[in-house]
């Protein structure tokens, strides 16, 4: 068993060799070990100044002129193109706006419409984040389909001639399990159905490869690993080959081919723009745009490598420090099956997490018995990781 001094010394060496260590200085951090970036990312240090300029100059001085002169009108697609490389997409396929829930609704209804008659069943991840399930049930009712919950592992056998669309999470929000996007997408495509992926817990933490793997539609939030801020707008990906068939259930004036023509009849805009709905939420959108600057020059592959190193190290430290039998990892050990978080089953998880937070280690608790620790490689260090495991052991021992 490793001793605390030994693991702390190794953490120091790992930090010294970390090619992403310099990114930590670009965030507003304190003495707290922050392992909840999979719920809300830390604040990039330059964002407040950029937002102040948006409020004081763009809104305060230019006012309505900023729609053109400050680029407000084109922000949804411009910021979408900045997110695109982080999820493996070419430009022109992502539009930013609305919430993840709204975008799941748009994507799933559009997917069912694209699938056509005769395909009367929608498959949904039975372990999904609750909102995805709620939206899927409503989309199924609206489109006259039957909703069938299945686990991701059951999807290949559940697919058939009746399948219209499949909604899956790339990473399980509770356990941190990474699902096999390439093979599941291929299976959905082979069955003639439309794939819809929720990337909330993977974008910004690991390579996704939307274009490479032929994903049809995808949605994701921007306030977790992308550090866009609380309630920052989500995004919608529509594969180039499907854009002319994407029939949004929420056609708004911003998704019209001639938004200022004020025509009575709706004509969809070309490309990913048809995923827009109403007036963009400019303040949070431009805060997100500023936050994305921290990704300049950062390969997602390097982020993934550090993510796996951090989570490996945390699991090693927990095994070395924690009292036997008090916690059990539920996040897969295999790298190919692990996102960027570690979930530990603990009988008194709620109370343990409260005490951890009181002692300066911030993770979160998922009902009924899961301690969840998110590792954001741009600002979490190996020293943070060792300290978190050591404090956890103290709490569990106490």
Q: Tokens standing for 219?
A: 């949605």
- DSSP element (H, E) containing 31: none
Rounded to whole angstroms, how far apart are CA atoms 284 and 136?
27
Query: Of the listed 27, 34, 105, 223, which one is catalytic?
Result: 223
Rounded to whole angstroms, how far apart are CA atoms 73 and 145?
36
Furthest-apart CA atoms within the chain: distance in Å: 72
Query: Of the listed 132, 198, 281, 364, which one is catalytic?
Result: 198
Q: Is 224 a catalytic residue?
A: yes
Strand order across the 341-345 sheet: 328-329, 341-345, 370-374, 364-366
Reading phi first (left if > 0) and then psi (alpha if -120 to 50, else beta), residue 371 is in beta
The pairing of strands 194-198 and 217-220 is parallel
The pairing of strands 235-238 and 163-169 is unpaired
Query: Of the listed 224, 276, 326, 338, which one is catalytic?
Result: 224
Query: Of the listed 27, 105, 129, 379, which one is catalytic?
Result: 129
**Cβ atoms of residues 306 and 379 within 8 Å:** no
Only one residue has tokens 């399930």, namely 133
Q: Is 24 a catalytic residue?
A: no
Q: Quickly list DSSP for 177-234.
A: BBP-HHHHHHHHHHTT-EEEEE-TTTTTTS---TTTTT--EEEE-SSSTT---TT---
Q: Is 34 a catalytic residue?
A: no
Query: Of the listed 145, 306, 372, 387, which one is catalytic?
Result: 372
Q: Is 13 a catalytic residue?
A: no
Cα torsion 200, 205, 210, 216 to 10°: value is -10
Q: Is 15 a catalytic residue?
A: no
Say which DSSP state 278 is in: S
**Cβ atoms of residues 200 and 167 within 8 Å:** no
The residues annotated with a catalytic role in the active site are 129, 198, 223-224, 372
């Amino acid at each position: 068993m490793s001793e605390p001094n030994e693991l702390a010394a190794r953490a120091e060496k790992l930090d010294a060799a970390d090619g992403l260590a310099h990114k930590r200085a670009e965030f507003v951090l304190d003495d707290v070990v922050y392992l909840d970036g999979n719920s809300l990312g830390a604040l990039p240090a330059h964002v407040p100044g950029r937002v102040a300029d948006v409020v004081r100059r763009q809104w305060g001085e230019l006012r309505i002129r900023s729609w053109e002169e400050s680029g407000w009108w084109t922000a949804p697609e411009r910021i979408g193109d900045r997110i695109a490389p982080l999820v493996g997409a070419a430009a022109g396929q992502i539009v930013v706006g609305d919430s993840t829930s709204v975008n799941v609704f748009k994507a799933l209804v559009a997917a069912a419409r694209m699938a056509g008659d005769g395909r009367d069943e929608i498959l949904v991840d039975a372990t999904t984040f609750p909102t995805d399930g709620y939206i899927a049930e409503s989309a199924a009712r609206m489109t006259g389909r039957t909703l069938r919950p299945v686990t991701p592992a059951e999807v290949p056998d559940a697919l058939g001639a009746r399948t219209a669309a499949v909604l899956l999470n790339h990473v399980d929000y509770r356990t941190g399990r990474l699902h096999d996007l390439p093979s599941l997408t291929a299976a959905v495509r082979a069955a003639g159905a439309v794939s819809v992926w929720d990337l909330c817990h993977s974008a910004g933490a690991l390579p996704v490869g939307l274009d490479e793997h032929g994903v049809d539609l995808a949605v994701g939030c921007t306030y977790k690993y992308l550090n866009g801020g609380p309630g920052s707008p989500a995004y919608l990906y529509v594969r180039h080959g499907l854009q002319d068939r994407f029939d949004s259930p929420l056609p708004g004036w911003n998704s019209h081919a001639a938004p200022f023509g004020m025509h009575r009849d709706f004509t969809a805009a070309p490309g990913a723009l048809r995923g827009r709905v109403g007036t963009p939420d400019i303040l949070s959108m431009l805060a997100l745009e500023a936050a994305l600057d921290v990704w300049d020059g950062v390969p997602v592959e390097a982020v993934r490598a550090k993510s796996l190193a951090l989570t490996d190290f945390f699991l090693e430290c927990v095994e070395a420090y924690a009292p036997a039998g008090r916690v059990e990892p539920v996040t897969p050990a295999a790298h190919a099956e692990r996102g960027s978080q570690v979930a530990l089953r603990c009988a008194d998880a709620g109370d343990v997490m409260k005490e951890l937070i009181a002692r300066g280690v911030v993770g979160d608790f998922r009902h009924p018995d899961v301690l969840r620790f998110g590792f954001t490689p741009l600002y979490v260090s190996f020293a943070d990781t060792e300290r978190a495991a050591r404090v956890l052991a103290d709490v569990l021992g106490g």
